[in-house]
Structure 1
Amino acid sequence: MQYMHIQCATSCSTAFNDPKHTSKRAKSWFQTNRIQVMEWPAKSPDLNPIENLWADIKNAVYEAKPRNAEELWNVVQLSWAAIPVDRCQKLVDSMHHRCEAVIRNCGYATKY
């Protein structure tokens, strides 16, 4: 797999097409502070393995049906602590294949 390098004269940021990043005020702030913002498609494949873990926690919350903020916090803490190390390792190990899939699909969604 070839590696792609992104070089910036100053610093780079990604804007994810989130309204809080694309408002006139935010754009002005980035420009004033000389921060180069990389274009990022709205529904780009997320190559961050933590997203899979957030989904695991979200599922645990739905299953537990917490009735208040304290129960919610407890479910989140317990489900986070229960994530096996090998689950994390498998997600990290999958990054090579994820990157290749994104490149093959020219940046469009993949099975990941």
Structure 2
Amino acid sequence: MSARGVGKLCFLKKTVNAAVYQDVLETFLIPTVEEQFGEEDFIFQQDLAPAHAAKSTKDWFTKKQLEVLAWPANSPDLNVIENLWAIVKRKIRDRKPTTLDQLKQNIATAWEAVSAETCDKLVKSMPRRLRAVIQAKGAATKY
């Protein structure tokens, strides 16, 4: 997701290691970036999950000439994607899927219904999030 909206949703059936992550980036991130940004610059945000921090993943970003936001170790979770997932969960909370396919469809429908305006508000909240963490000296915040 970016301030311009959500990208294509990806359901994985396997554990995410560096190779799987890079495949997801290649298959889903690159087309989304091309669609949402074209030739404009952007900064990619991710946390330091092992697949994200792997040397081969760092090399992948370097090869693709994509800038990644520096992310401190042991930082509070400020990634706005967590708030986006909470929005999606609220949208499907009252549905009662009985199969995995129904669950996936509910999630996909809720994901596609997220507006670019909602995504933009989440992204624009980052300065407030960072100030709150600084004020709390790294302790928990409302985010």
Greater share of strand: 1
| Aligned residue type for 2:48 | T
Deviation track 1:43-102 (CA, whole Å, cap 9, x = no partner) reads x53111111111112223321121111110110110000001100000111100100100
Superposition TM-score, scaled by structure 1 size = 0.60
Give the match for residue 61 of structure 1: 92
The answer for unaligned runs of 5 or more in structure 2 is: 1-46, 55-71
Give the length in aligned residue pairs: 77
Distance 1:57 1:74 in 2: 12
The answer for unaligned runs of 5 or more in structure 1 is: 1-12, 16-20, 22-29, 31-37
Distance 2:106 2:92 in 1: 6
The 5 Å alignment of 1:28-67 reads 39-40=73-74, 45-67=76-98
Superposition TM-score, scaled by structure 2 size = 0.48
Give the match for residue 42 of structure 2: none
Distance 2:84 2:94 in 1: 15
**Which of 68, 74, 87 is the aligned partner of 2:105?**
74
Distance 2:118 2:90 in 1: 15
Runs of 4+ residues deviating >3 angstroms: none
Give the match for residue 48 of structure 2: 14
CA RMSD, Structure 1 to Structure 2 (Å): 2.0
Deviation at 1:103, TM superposition (A): 0.6
Distance 2:122 2:130 in 1: 12
The 5 Å alignment of 1:81-92 reads 81-92=112-123
Distance 1:39 1:85 in 2: 30
Distance 2:91 2:127 in 1: 28
Deviation track 1:16-45 (CA, whole Å, cap 9, x = no partner) reads xxxxx6xxxxxxxx8xxxxxxx641xxx53
Higher RCO, 1 vs 2 (CA within 8 Å, ≥6 residues apart): 2
